[in-house]
Structure 1
Amino acid sequence: MDPRTSAQDVMRCDLCETAVVQMHCDTCLVNLCKACVGEHFSADLSKPHKIVHFKDKKSTLIHPRCTSHDEEMCEMFCTHCDVPICSICLASDQHLGHKLVRVLEIRDKKRDKLIKKQTELKEKIYPNYQDIASDVQNRMSQLEKEYGDLSTAITKHGEDWHREIDKLVKKLKAEVDEMKNTQLQTLQKHLDEINKTMSDIKDEINSVDSVLESTDISSLFSLPSTLDRYTNLPRKITVSIPKFIPKKLQADQLFSLKTISIKSDEYGYSMKTTQKSPEAGSSPPVKQLLDEPEIVATIDTEYHFGLYNVASVSDEEIWTRGNDNTMKLYSINQGSLLKSITTKSGNTPRDIAVTKSGDLVYTDDTVNIVKNEKIEEVIRLQNWRPKGVCSTSSGDLLVTMISDDKKLTKVVRYSCSTDEQTIQFDDKNKPLYSSDTRYITENRNLDICVSDSGAKAVVVVNQAGKLRFRYTGHTPAPKNQPFNPRGITTDSQSHILTADYNNECVHIIDQDGQFLRYIDHVLFPWGLCLDTNDLKVMDCV
C-alpha cells in the first residue's frame, strides 16, 4: 500500500512528500521535515519565515501587511484613519497627531467582541434556532395527526351520508309501493263495478230478446222500463303516478373544507434567555380575557398627593412611588408595608422598575439601582434627563429621556451602564416621540412600547428601533375624552395594556396594535404592571 495514500499514514512533508513532518512554517502555513527547512527559506527570501515545531503550528501571530508598503508588516493601528500602519507610515507625516495604538491591542478588543458574539451564537442564538426547529418538527407531527383525524372524520361523515341516503331510498321506494297499491285498489274497485254493470246489461239484453221473440203481447207490456239507466256511462277515474324529481347535489351541500392559511409572522419567535426556567421552550397557554375584571386585593399606600408608579417584584410583593422622595415595598396579600427607600438625591423619582434579579431601579436626575438597600448610581447623563425606565428580558435597561431644553426625546438601551442603542427618529428622520413621554416597557416579542402623553399615543418599535405602529385610542371612549396614556405594561400573550387617565379605563390591544377591549370604571388610572400570573396591578391618583 502506498504510504502517501494510506488513511493510517502519518503526515508527510509538503516539499519532498516522503519524510515525516517535524516542522511548520507559520508564515506560509507549510508542513516541513527538518531537511527541507533550508530549501523553504531559500525559495522565498522576501518573507520573514517563522519556523516552529509542528506541534506548535499556528502559534505565531501574523501581523497585517501595510496597504501602502506591501513588504512591511504593521504593528500599530491608527484609530483616526481606522487602518493598520507600518514603521514607514509611522515615520511619515501621514498620521501626525492621530491616536495610535498597538495592533495587538485592537486585535484583543476585536477578538473579545468576536468571542462574545460567538458565545452568544453558541449559548443563546443557536439554542433558540434548535428550539424553533424542534417546534416546527413538533407542529409538522401534529399536522400529520390532525390531517389524519380530518381524513377519518371525512370518511366517517361519508359513511353517515351513505347510511342516510340508503334509508331515504328505502323510504321513497316504500312510499312508491304504497301509492301504487292505493291507486291499483281504486281502479280494481271501479273495474269490478263496471263488470257488474256489464253483467246486468247482458241480462237486460237477454230479457228484451225473450220479449221480442214472444207472441204474448202482455209480456211486452210487463217489461220494466229500466233500460234508460244504462245510458249514463260510469264516471271516469284518472290516476297519475308521482313524478320523480332528482335534486342536483353539490359537493359543498354534503360537506366542505374551509380554506387553509399559511401565515408568516416576522415577530412570531422571540429570543429566549440562556437562564431557562423549567417551563422554558414551551409556549405559554392562551389565556382568555375576563368579561368582567375582578378586584383581588386593595392596598392603602398612604400617598396623600397621588400614587404614580407600581412595579411588581413577585406575586406577593410590589414597589410603589408617589409624589415624594420615598419608594415603598408592600405585601400584596397582607397589604402591609415591608420597607421604604428614600432617594439619594432627595428628589421625587420619575419612574421605577424591577430588574430580573429583583433589584429596584429608579430615575430622578440619574438612573439608580438599589441593591441590599444601598443605592448605586449607574447612569449619569450630560444635557439629558432620564424619565421612564424598564428592565428587559436580556437584563438591559431601556430609558426614555428628554433634552435639557425639552425639545428632544429619545430611548436609550443600556447594558452594564454602556449605551448600546439609541432610538429617536423614524425612517424619514422624523422624531418618534414627543417631549412628554411617560413610561416604557418591553413586550414579549421584544418590541419596545412607550406611552407618549404629549402625542396622545402608544408608540411601538421593534427590537431594532424601527416603527411598527402608533396606537391613538379607540372610539367610542368610555368618557368620550381624548386618549391620554400613562402607565404601560404587557402580558404573557404580548397584549399591551395602557392606563387612560382621561377616560378612566385601561386599553388592551394586541401586539399589532389592534384594540381588544377596555377595563372600565377605573378612577383616574396612572401606574400599571403585571405579576407572573398576568394579574393586572393598577394605581390611581
Structure 2
Amino acid sequence: MHPRRSVQEVLLCDLCETVPLQSHCELCNINLCVNCAVKHLSDSSKRHNVVPFLQRKVTPNYPKCPKHPEKHCELHCEECNIPVCSTCVSSGKHKGHDMSDILEKLSAKTESLQKDLKELETRIYPRYEEMASDVQTKKAELETKYGKLTTIADQQGEILHREITAIVNRRKSAIAEMKTKHLDALNKNTDEITQKMAELKQIMSDLKSILKSNDVSLTSTYKSRNSQFRTLPPKVRVTLPSFSPQKINKNQLNEMFGSLSPLSINTEHGDTLKSAEAVSSPPVKPLLDEPRVTATIDTGYKIWFGILNGGLYSVSCLSEDQVWTRGINNTMKLLNLQSELLTSIQTKSGYTPEDIAVTRDGDLVYIDYYDKTVNLIKNKQIQTVITLQGWRPLSVCCTAGNDLLVTMISDDKQYKVVRYSGSTEKQSIQFDDQGRPLYSSGVYNNTKYLSENRNLDICVADYRASAVVVVNQSGKLRFRYTGHPSNTEQSFTPTGITTDSQSHILTADYKNHRIHILDQDGQFLRYIHCDLKLPLGLCVDIRDNLFVAELRTAKVKKIQYL
C-alpha cells in the first residue's frame, strides 16, 4: 500500500502528508490540504492556480529539472539524451541540438517498454520456464538412469564372482583328484612292502626252528631265498603339484570388469532468441492453385527397375541452380539445372551414402550407414566428424543454428534423433513424456528423413509408422500427421521431408506419387502431383523452389508451388 494512503485509501496532502487533500495546484501539479493551500498561495514568486481537487485538469506530469528546480522539463535533448527545461535550452548548452517533446519521447519509450514486457511475458520467460522444467525432468530421471548403471555394475560383479567361484572349484577339484591318486599310489606301495615283510618274518621263523631242531633232514633240504629279498620293493616317488597364482593386475581386472565412460558436464552457450522483429512472419507467399515444374535435371544414376536396382535417393540444394544428389552407388554428384556435372565425390569407405545435406557454409555432409559415421566434405577433403558405437546413422539435416540433426538405429532396432554441435552430442530425442518411443522400431535400414522447421520444430518422416512425427525444439511431441483424413483407400508412405520460409512442412508420399503440404501445426493444405514417379528426397532453396528426387526416373524436378 502507498505510504500516504490510509486503510480506506484516503488521499493525503502532498506537502504535510497527514491531512486529506482538498485542492490541487495546476502550476506545480501537487495536491494540497486547506492549510497547505493557504501557505502555497502565499508564495508570490509564482502565479499558482489552486483549484478544488475534483475540478483539476489532467496536466502532463513533467519531470522537474535537476539543474533548475523551479522549472519542469518539457523537452528532450536527442544528442545528450536527457530531459531539459526552457532555461537549459536558453542557456546555450544545447545549442544546435535536436529537441523533441518530452511527452512524445515518453510515449515512444512507453511503447518500447510495452514491447519489452510483451516479449518477456510471451517469448523469453516461457522459454526459461521450459528450460527449468527440462532440468527438473532430467533431475527426476537421475535416480532411474544412475540406478540402471549401478544394477549393471552389480550384475557384472555377480558374473565375475560366479566365474571366479567356478574357477576356484575347478582348481580344488583337481587338487582333490591329485591327492587321491597320490594316496592310492602310497597305499599300493605300503601293501606290497607289508606283504614282503610278512614273508620275511615267516622265513626268519622257519630258519630259527631248523637251527633249533638240529634236524639233518631239514637242514639239508633248506634252500636260501635271501637273494630274492635283497632287491627291495620299488619306492614310490611323487612330485607334489604346485600352485602358481598369477599376480592380479588391477588395470586388467578393471578392463575385464568393463569400462565406465566419464561424466561429461558441459556448460554450453545458451541459445540466443531472436527479437520479436526478427521472428516476425515473412512476406506471405500464397500456394499456387497449380504447381508447375520449372526444370528437370537428369542425374545420370542408374534408372530404377525394381528393388535395389538403381534410382535416385536424395537431393540437397547448394544454390538456386545447383544441387547435390546421391544414388545407388558411392558417388555424390553436384549438378546444375542443365544436368551438367560440376563435381563428383566418392565416399571414403566406398559404401553408398545413406543421406546427404548441405551446411549453412555450403559444405556437404553425408551419412555412411555401414561404417557408422557422419562425414563433412570441405574443399573436397572428407573429414569424419561423428563415429557411432552401437548405433548406425540414417538421415541428416543442418539446422538454423548450424547444428546437425541425425536419425539413427540401434543394434536392437530402436530409433532416435540426436543433435550434434560439431562432434559433441547436445540432445537425444527418443521418448515422449510417458516414456513411449516417439518413432517406430524394428527393421534395419528403415530410413527416417528429417528436417527442421522455421519455428525450430523437428519433423521426421516415419515411413514404417505411416506418419510425420513433429516435436518442438526441446523434443516434446507436438503432433503426428498420418495423412489426409479423406484418404481412406491408399496408405500414407512418407519418405523425404523438407520445410520452407512459410513454416510449411512438405513430405513425399512415396507410393502415391505426390507431395503433401502441411502448415506448421500439421493441418493438410494441398497436394503436389506434377506427374511424379516415386518421389523420395526433397529440399527447398532460399526462394522456396521445391526440388524432388524421383527414384524411378533418377531425375530431379524443380517445382514452383508458391
TM superposition score normalised by structure 2: 0.47
Pick 1 or 2: higher relative contact order, CA cutoff 8 A, min separation 6: 2
TM superposition score normalised by structure 1: 0.49
